[in-house]
Amino acid sequence: MSAVALDLAALADLIKTWGRELGFQQTGIAGLDLARHEEHLERWLAAGFHGEMDYMAAHGSKRSRPAELVPGTLRVISLRMDYLPGDTRMSERLADGAAAYVSRYALGRDYHKLIRKRLQHLAERIQGEIGPFGYRAFVDSAPVLEKAIAEQAGLGWIGKNTLVLNRKAGSWFFLGELFVDVPLPVDEPTPRDHCGTCRACLDICPTQAFVGPYQLDARRCISYLTIEFKGSIPPELRPLIGNRVFGCDDCQLVCPWNRFAKPTAEGDFQPRHSLDSASLAELFRWTEAEFLSRTEGSPLRRAGYERWLRNLAVGLGNAPTSIPVVEALKLQREHPSPLVREHVEWALQRHAAS
C-alpha cells in the first residue's frame, strides 16, 4: 500500500461510487465480528438442518472468522446486485400445474463469473488509487457467511426466511464480497426488527421447512431438494413440491418488502431458452445434449441432467393428467438411471390413480 497517508473515509466513499458504476446497487463495509452468527451456525449444524451439505460444516471457524480464511483481512466490502428479471408472471406459473417453475435467479446466466469479474474490476480501481494491497474476492463459492457480512455492512437484515432483506430492494439480489487488508471505516449494521409480526414467508412454505423464524430445515426446503440433494426425494414431500423443478421462490413472492424490488438492467439475468414460459413436458423431452447446450453458463448445470429429469418427473407427477404429460413420462420409463426411473414410475402411478 502507498506510504502516502490515506483518507480512509474518502476512499470508502469512492469504493461505493465505483460499486454503483460497476453495476452494484449497494456497497457496504463490514468489520470482522460475526460471533453471533457463528453461534447460530453451530446450533443449525448440530440440529442436522444442513442435510447432505457437508461443506457447511467444513473449514471450522474460517467460515465465521474472515481473518482466518484470508490472513491479513481487516474489512469486508459487501456488495449487492439485483437480479429480478422484470415481470415473469411467476405467481401465475406456480398456479399452472403444467408449467415448469424455475427459480427467478436461475432464469438467466450464472451470476458467479459476472459478479467475480466486477469485483476484480473494483479491486483494480482501489489499487489504482492506493497502490498494491491485499484482497480476495468471493461470490457464493467459499466458506463465507455472506448474509451475516451483508447485515453487518448495512445492506439489509436477515429476515425470518433466512434471506437478506432490504427496505428499498426486498430480497431479489445476489451478494459478493471483497476481503481487504485496508482499515476502512465500517458501516452501521442493519437492525433486525423490520419483519415485525409478519409470518407470510413462514406460513407459505409448501413443505413447512421453517422450524421457526430465522430457522430453516434445509432437508425439507424445495431449493435444497431440487438443487443440492443428490438422492431420491422423499415420497411424502414430492406432492408438496408441485411444479417447482429448480429452486423455490414462495417465501420471496409473499414478502411485503419485495414490492419495492426493481427489475434488473443486467442482460445476463434475463430469461433464456424460454425457461420462464416452458411446460414441464417440453423440458422433460430435452436430450442430455440439449440440456448441456441450453444450460451452458446457467445455474441449472449445478443439478446435472439426471437430477434435472428427477425434478421434472416429480413436477409431471403433480401436473394435471393429460396426454402430453403421460407421453413425456413414458419416454423416460426405461432411462438408464435408477433415480430417474424411480421418480418416473411414481409419477405414472399418480396419473394411473387419477
Residues catalogued as catalytic? 140
43 burial via Cβ count (<10 Å: 0-12, 13-18, 19+):
exposed
106, 153 in Cβ contact below 8 A?
Answer: no
Residue type (1 letter), 222: I
Q: Which residue has the cell 387419477?
A: 354
Q: Tell me, what amino acid is at 111?
A: Y
Give the relative orientation of helices 338-353 and 323-331 as an angle to the nearest 10 degrees.
Answer: 150
Q: What is the CA radius of gyration of the chain?
A: 22
What amino acid occupies position 269? F
Q: Which amino acid is at 90?
A: M
* Rounded Cα distance, 308 and 262, in Å: 30
Please name which of 209, 214, 213 lies closest in space to residue 226, comparing C-alpha atoms. 209
CA distance 251 to 321: 28
Between CA 209 and CA 220 the distance in angstroms is 5
Torsion of CA 59, 63, 68, 71, to 10 degrees: 110
Within 10 angstroms of residue 223's Cβ, the number of other Cβ atoms is: 20
**138 beta partners:** 177
Distance between CA 93 and CA 258 in Å, rounded?
A: 18
